[in-house]
Structure 1
Amino acid sequence: MLREDRILITGANGFVGTWLQREFKRRQIQDGRNLTVIAVGHGSGADRATDITDRGQVADLIEECRPTAVIHLAAVAAPAEARRLPRRAWDVNFQGTMNLAYATIEHSPDARFIFVGSSEAYGASFIDAAGEAVREDRPLKPMTVYGATKAAADIAVAQLAYEGLKAICFRPFNHTGPGQTDAYVAAAFARQLAEIGAGTRPPRMEVGNLSALRDFLDVRDIVRAYTDAALMEVPPDALGKAFNLSSARPIQIQSILDMLIDLSGLKVDVEIDPKRLRGPEVAVASGDNQAAFKTFGWKPEIPLGSTLSDVLEDWKARKKPQ
């Protein structure tokens, strides 16, 4: 008899959660796995609507579903939103994670707990690294509210691994793809270009800091790692560890913009919008991905040009005149 995998995903209806559900469906068809996905989130597509800041609701969720793996995506995920609503960010990103982790230990202790953190937790360690790719043993020195909430939850989950939580912590770097909101840089560029192409916006783009270098990936590569961590056998010493998900090839935001403009075939003017500048920023943020490769065999596969083309085509479809 095939083992039944019961995968509980929080934040399942979000950008990453939607792609993650597609990846599990693909694996189910490809491998013939006995697989059930429990989508926890808001909206009509969710199997369960649960407020992760409510300890009782979370305990009931885990006790009733008895997952074999929990993939915790739910978060106040946009750094700008976390900066605007810091108390909400701490309630969801930190306290919500704790509620879920403790409920898993109590009600489904054999379940693998996959916590999705963020490269933003490194913060000033990127500055200390002077442009080199950071490894997971670098200190967490967050510089933003969002980064701080993720760093705190990352540390707490790692501590709970000593109390029996079968935890794997991922620290994904910038990732994009079709379906992402324009709260993120590549999607923000693509939206403006789609509007210009549709004739609903003048041929002028408003941008923020273009000089920073960031490590970009495709969301479809990211969700492969989460799926592998939930389904595959992993070495016991992987539990309680953190893993960067990165390309180790930082690219300047200016180059992202240039690639998208080239893909659009448009002639546009580019203007710096002071409202899009975030104050002091890390010049280069890049991550070493060897730990993820050694443990899961994971590495990014989708070329950045293909990703950006897909993002632009997605926004063009959304902005196409009806």
Structure 2
Amino acid sequence: MNMTPTCLVTGIGGFVGSYLADFLHQQGWTVIGFDRSGKEIPNTITHKIDLLDKDNVYSLVQKINPQYIIHLAAQSSVKVSWDKPEETININVEGTRILLDAVIHAGIQNTCKLLVVSSAEIYGPPQQVPMNEDHSLNPINPYGQSRLQQEQLINEYIQKKNLQIIIARSFPHTGPGQLPTFACPSFAQQIVHIEQGKQESIINVGNLDAQRDFTDVRDVVKAYYLLLTKVNFGVFNVCSGHAVAMKDILQQLLHESTKAITIQQDPARMRPSDIPILVGSNTKIHQATGWKPIIPLSQTLRDILNSWRN
């Protein structure tokens, strides 16, 4: 019997996927990835595949016969979800349904454990902070609604089809390599462009009063690994438990900069409905796995800035 666990990671070409592949490889796991882009990931066998391509997903899941699946593939931008609500639902809900059906079709529902990544956007406006996993679910944007539908679908499969699925409700996470459609890398990229003379000394920003709970992506992938290996079922927040205002994040980055920079609010960067504060409780995951984030935000921000400089 092969003692090396095989883990299938969907959306492996995304921001989190490459960190996860690297971490799992360090644990001695065999990592196989699905990705629409077909991007090459070190130490990983990657299949170029669209999750909505049912026949292809079915045959590959059967062929790979994974012990573990981590489902990252998603349309995960709130901003994009306002422009493309149907596509967001299709990728996040139908894509998940096809993957779960593929597990059943391959007959591996008793031997394969799945971790599906959801989002804190599922909670909507906080009734109390920090939000724990029992907080009511009132998403206020199409992305959050797609995650709610995804979780409802998963619960159906757990109850009716006996699948082993853990849900990770991830709060915002960031780190080097994240696309500048997200706030932290956007700030950093603009600062570096100003330092290099490619942009005038004005940084364009959205709502700086919003407070968010950020975790470093390198801590997040450890959380996913620990959930998969130490837990059998349940919903778990993956978060730092601390809120920080976007203006404070921007100030930390500006403090590291070599130039004097003016801040300018850009209406195009304001979201139609922005939750003022989003902060989670990580008590449940800590009790179940011992996980807690260890990389301070100041370090994460410095690393993001340096990755744009290089």
Q: TM-score, normalised by structure 2?
A: 0.94
For residues 273 and 78 of structure 2, the distance between their equivalents in structure 1, rounded to whole angstroms, comes to 14
Q: Does the 8 Å contact 2:38/2:49 carry over to 1?
A: no
Equivalent residue for 2:254, pick from 250, 261, 265 = 261
Equivalent residue for 2:218, pick from 212, 220, 225 = 220
Determine helix, strand or coil for the equivalent of 2:140.
coil
Q: Does the 8 Å contact 2:188/2:308 carry over to 1?
A: yes
Q: Does the 8 Å contact 1:50/1:61 carry over to 2?
A: no
Write out aligned runs for 1:22-33 (5 A). 22-28=22-28
Determine helix, strand or coil for the equivalent of 1:4.
coil
For residues 140 and 48 of structure 1, the distance between their equivalents in structure 2, rounded to whole angstroms, comes to 35
Write out aligned runs for 1:123-142 (5 A). 123-124=124-125, 126=126, 128-129=127-128, 132-142=129-139
Q: Does the 8 Å contact 2:38/2:47 carry over to 1?
A: no
Comparing 297-306 and 1-10, the one that deviates more = 1-10
Q: Does the 8 Å contact 1:182/1:191 carry over to 2?
A: yes
Determine helix, strand or coil for the equivalent of 2:137.
coil
* Equivalent AA in structure 1 for residue 7 of structure 2: I
Determine helix, strand or coil for the equivalent of 2:264.
strand
Q: Does the 8 Å contact 2:140/2:273 carry over to 1?
A: no
| 1:313 maps onto 2:310 in alignment | no
Instruction: State the 1:67 CA deviation.
Output: 0.5
Write out aligned runs for 1:149-188 (5 A). 149-162=146-159, 163-188=161-186
For residues 170 and 26 of structure 1, the distance between their equivalents in structure 2, rounded to whole angstroms, comes to 22
For residues 312 and 44 of structure 1, the distance between their equivalents in structure 2, rounded to whole angstroms, comes to 24
| 1:283 maps onto 2:273 in alignment | no
* Aligned equivalent of 1:121: 122
Q: TM-score, normalised by structure 1?
A: 0.91
* Aligned equivalent of 1:104: 103
For residues 201 and 233 of structure 1, the distance between their equivalents in structure 2, rounded to whole angstroms, comes to 48
Cα distance change, pair 99–4 in 1 and its aligned pair in 2 (3 A): same
Instruction: State the 1:2 CA deviation.
Output: 6.6
* Aligned equivalent of 2:189: 191
Q: Does the 8 Å contact 1:218/1:302 carry over to 2?
A: yes
For residues 292 and 39 of structure 2, the distance between their equivalents in structure 1, rounded to whole angstroms, comes to 34
Instruction: State the 1:43 CA deviation.
Output: 2.4
Instruction: State the 1:280 CA deviation.
Output: 2.8
* Equivalent AA in structure 1 for residue 145 of structure 2: A
Tell me how large the CA RMSD over aligned residues is. 1.4
Instruction: State the 1:123 CA deviation.
Output: 1.1
Deviations 1:226-276 (A, max 9, x none): 12233x243xxx41x110011111000000000000012321000111111
Deviations 1:190-224 (A, max 9, x none): 00001001111111111010001100110000001
Instruction: State the 1:138 CA deviation.
Output: 1.2
Deviations 1:34-55 (A, max 9, x none): x211011122416212221122
Determine helix, strand or coil for the equivalent of 1:117.
strand
For residues 38 and 103 of structure 2, the distance between their equivalents in structure 1, rounded to whole angstroms, comes to 24
Determine helix, strand or coil for the equivalent of 1:56.
helix
Cα distance change, pair 233–274 in 1 and its aligned pair in 2 (3 A): closer
Instruction: State the 1:4 CA deviation.
Output: 2.5
Q: How many residues align?
A: 302
Deviations 1:24-75 (A, max 9, x none): 12222xxxxxx21101112241621222112222211211111000100001
Determine helix, strand or coil for the equivalent of 2:115.
strand
Determine helix, strand or coil for the equivalent of 2:143.
helix
Following TM superposition, the consecutive aligned residue runs of length 4 or more in structure 1 with deviations greater than 3 angstroms are none
For residues 236 and 220 of structure 2, the distance between their equivalents in structure 1, rounded to whole angstroms, comes to 12
For residues 91 and 25 of structure 1, the distance between their equivalents in structure 2, rounded to whole angstroms, comes to 31
Gap runs ≥5 in structure 2: none
* Aligned equivalent of 2:31: 37
* Aligned equivalent of 1:320: none
* Equivalent AA in structure 2 for residue 177 of structure 1: G
| 1:51 maps onto 2:57 in alignment | no
For residues 113 and 297 of structure 2, the distance between their equivalents in structure 1, rounded to whole angstroms, comes to 31
Determine helix, strand or coil for the equivalent of 1:298.
coil
Q: Does the 8 Å contact 1:40/1:48 carry over to 2?
A: yes
* Equivalent AA in structure 2 for residue 156 of structure 1: L
* Equivalent AA in structure 1 for residue 142 of structure 2: V
Gap runs ≥5 in structure 1: 29-34, 318-322
